[in-house]
A and B are shown apart, each in its own frame.
Chain A
Amino acid sequence: MGVRVRALALLLLAACAATTVLAQSAPEPLPTGDETSGASLFTGKGACQTCHRVQGKGSRLGPDLTDVGSTRTPAQLEKSLLDPAAEILPENRFYRVVTRDGASITGKLLNLDTFQVMMLDPKEQLRAFQKSDLREHGFVDGSKMPSYATTLSRQELADVIAYLATLKGVVAQ
């Protein structure tokens, strides 16, 4: 294959890829969301509290969303709901340890150094492990969160995002 043909092929490939990316990054805009409906979806159908916590309710293992409306834009929230694995902040990483007696514990990583691992375990207890006491240990890659691309309708997605956008943290009263 000549150089020109190769170049043409590469150009075509690049164009296809760009078109695909463009198509993926510019989905149909979401309809206007209803925050009340979103709150119901959050605690009901979406089962978001299985992993997330808002104002002291829900699991502590996923990111606490009490102030997520102040820290994330609606576009970022939509991205997280549709493609949770696209971006996982370091503070939301999971870690697995296996103790010498074979117990495997996967928890939310809180701190790490050369000798020690600190985590919130599945029973939501603060746990510290000496690495020298562990059979194995390491990061758990990927996100535990399912994509809601197919499980929620576009309107429902918009509603959840509208609700999340109202969460501005604890206000002094």
Chain B
Amino acid sequence: MTSRRLIVLAAAWVLAAWAFGAWGPDDTLLAQLSSERILNAQKEPQNWLTYSGGYMSQRHSPLTQITTGNAKDLELKWVFQARWLDYMQSTPLVVDGIMYATQGNDVVALDATTGKIFWIYPYTPASDARSCCGRITRGLAILGDTLFLATVDAHLIAIDAKNGRPLWNRIVAQGTAGYSLTTAPLVIKDKVIVGPAGGEFGIQGFIAAYDAATGREAWRFNTVPQPGEPGHDSWGAGWTHGGGSIWVTGSYDPETNLTFWGVGNPGPDYNAESRPGDNLYTCSVVALDADTGKLKWHYQFTPADEFDWDAVQIPVLADISWKGSPRKVMLWANRNGFFYVLDRRTGEFLQATPIAKQNWNAGFDNGRPIRALDAMPSRDGVLIYPGNQGATNWFSPSFSPRTGLFYVSVWENTHHIFARADQPYKEGSNYTAGRLTTNYPGRGITAGMRAVQRPNLRKEEENFGTVRAFDPQTGKWRWEYKMSDLTDAGILTTASDVLFSGGREGYFFALDARSGSLLWKVQLGGPVQNGPMTYAVDGRQYVAVSASNSLFVFGLR
């Protein structure tokens, strides 16, 4: 190269660098979100950094601008209408004024004050991927400048948060065999943790951690133990298609370095004849070492489940006074109709009380449920309360350290008649081996969006949705907010004692978290199916919630 060329090149480089204001090396630029910031999420309440708003998964915000006094002045600020016709179950993240949301399996970066789009990462899952309940995702995780998306065809994808470009794409499992990823991943330190859904397809479930920088698998915990692993003998030959899915995000306790995840139902769903035993670790919470994936403890809510009662709920961690002493507990409202208090350090069973009508349980023997003799599964069919969708389900509860109450959306008076049936396993096909009937009049209970298009004619004794506020000390609810229809909405509470939730009727509402009285409501024209979240930009507090396929954001007038 001539000296003239060198001079010209150097000049051009300097000019371009000056024009862009960037001098190349990445370390001159601030990474957006460190793991320390996620760990201390409560110190920056203006942001919403994980699916549940923090590692303790309380879905409780320290923000206080919206109060019980002024909630009536909430108004719509903006709407994001997804180019996606299915319902939206995800909770967006907000980092320093930027909202990261999903539409189907696309990722969208939005101005959190206006909803205007910065960029979209489009992702179309493989058309032959199988999922039981919609081609949805429940949200994202973020670390540094990287977002993590789990897709319905079982890929985990790292995406540049600044420009929406993919960085790596890891095939976690085989989508055509019924494995799908619908959970928002959880980032702990330098790892991204997910697990596959597919409990209705006879998958072999697992929880796995991936290196955030490279996507390489760091550890894996089999929720259906393989031969030689502890718990394998709880299956007989049925382990090969044992289910044990993962489809909502876990929690993390940095003090013990344990991450907690709820595990789904065993397969086939409605007939345990092929899987004699307790079927560990289905319908359980597992506590894993976050660095290695090693099991520290587990608690099984429903051994040998035949009612599709996934323990796929958010593990809510709380530090409370228990029988007069401080205790680090886990609060868990389960699909099987009970509200549990566990010691999160050891898994010790402390208490379980019903959250809705149930007839399957005759008590607890040292923490193990005693099955009611007149509610045993059979081929002829047996009437069970609650029904297969449970007394609650995947939608997020909330715990307020201020009120000391645990808030959960409950389905009251639901039931099914469950009958065992025969069904051979076929890869990629539904594998449930049962017949379900019901005498619900009017609308079905499972298809939220479709159901809302039909008139609601049910009486209260024929089931209803309600928000209940439980006192962990007694296990009993102090107040409830009843709806005519059922609800798939999560719950958000704030440090100003405002509670936000919604339901299939399409209302999004604010309640007084201490009394349950209605403060404000708005009709959104479609069922609310996600957990509301809140954030602030430039000193103004916003509340975001989705209904049908749109995301609505409210703030004070």
Contact = CB atoms under 8 A, between A and B. Distances in A.
B481 interface: no
Interface in A92-112: 106, 110-111
A172 B21 contact: no
Given A49-B24, A61-B20, A123-B29, A172 B9 contact: no
B116 interface: yes
A56 B532 CA distance: 33
Nearest to A49: B24
15 contacts: A45-B9, A47-B9, A50-B20, A59-B22, A62-B20, A64-B163, A110-B118, A118-B111, A121-B21, A123-B21, A126-B118, A144-B16, A146-B9, A151-B1, A151-B12
A120 to B, nearest CB: 6
Interface string A136-160: 0000000011111011110000000
A172 B165 contact: no
A58 B27 CA distance: 10
Contacts of A56: 160, 167
A170 B165 CA distance: 9
Contacts of A144: 15-16, 19-20
A125 B16 CA distance: 18
B13 interface: yes
Contacts of A25: none
B169 interface: yes
A118 B20 contact: no
B111 A106 contact: no
Contact of B24 (A47, A126, A150, A153): A47
B118 A173 contact: no
A76 interface: no
Contact of A146 (B6, B12, B162): B12
Q: Which of B12, B168, B171 has the most CB of A within 10 A?
A: B12
Interface of B: 1, 4-6, 8-9, 11-13, 15-17, 19-24, 26, 29-30, 97-98, 109, 111, 113-114, 116-119, 155, 160, 162-163, 165-171, 215
A123 B160 contact: no
6 nearest A-B pairs in the assembled complex, by CB-CB distance: A122-B21, A146-B12, A151-B9, A128-B111, A172-B169, A170-B166
Given A50-B22, A170-B169, 4 more contacts: A120-B163, A124-B29, A126-B118, A153-B1
B169 A111 contact: no
Nearest to B112: A128
A34 B229 CA distance: 51
Contacts of A153: 1
A39 B116 CA distance: 37
Given A60-B160, A128-B111, A118 B170 contact: no
A37 interface: no
Contacts of A120: 162-163
A173 B172 CA distance: 9
B117 A111 contact: yes
Nearest to A64: B165
Contact of A50 (B11, B13, B117, B155): B13
A169 B121 CA distance: 14
A156 B15 CA distance: 22
Contacts of A124: 22, 29, 162
A15 B480 CA distance: 87
Contacts of B119: 110
Q: Which of B117, B165, B169 has the most CB of A within 10 A?
A: B165
Nearest to A128: B111
